[in-house]
Amino acid sequence: MAVSLRPSLRVFGNVGAPNTLELFIDFACPRSKQLVESSITGPSTDATGTTVTYGALAVLFYIDYDIQNSVKVIVRPFIQAAHLGSKVTHEVALAVLSAHPEHFWGYATKVFAAQDTDNHYFDIRVDEMTPTNLRAELCNTVFASALTSTSVAKADRPAIVETISTLVSQKSVPNLKPPEKNIIISDTFKQVVQKCRHCPASVPGVAAWNGTLIPDFSPLWGQLEWGSYLKSKLL
- Strands, DSSP E only, in 5-100? 9-12, 19-25, 44-45, 51-52, 71-77
Secondary structure class of 20 (helix, strand, coil)? strand
pLDDT of residue 235: 87
Instruction: Examine the domain organization and report whether 29 and 138 are in the same domain.
Output: no
pLDDT at 115: 98
131, 173: one domain: yes
Give pLDDT tens digits for 50-96: 999 999 999 999 999 999 999 999 999 999 989 999 999 999 999 99
Query: Do 209 and 193 lie in a common domain?
Result: no
Whether residue 103 is found in the same domain as residue 68: no
Note the pLDDT of residue 138.
Answer: 98
Q: Name the residue range of residue 172's domain.
A: 80-197
Amino acid identity, position 29:
C
pTM: 0.89
Enumerate the β-bridge partners of residue 77: 25
Please check the confidence at residue 17 and state whether its pLDDT lies above 80.
Answer: yes
> Do residues 73 and 84 both lie within one domain?
no
Q: How many domains does the chain have?
A: 2
Please check whether residues 17 and 34 belong to one and the same domain.
yes
97 in the same domain as 190: yes
Same domain, 85 and 191: yes
226 and 187, same structural domain?
Answer: no
176 and 232 within one domain: no
Determine the Cα–Cα distance for residues 33 and 26; give it in Å rounded to an integer. Answer: 8
pLDDT score recorded for residue 7: 53
Domain of residue 204, CATH code = 3.40.30.10
Say if residue 190 is in the same domain as residue 89: yes
Same domain as 187, residue 98: yes
Q: Is 218 helix (H, G, I), strand (E, B) or coil?
A: coil
Count CA atoms closer than 13 A to 191's CA, side-chain side: 11
Confidence band, pLDDT 50/70/90 cuts, at residue 185? confident
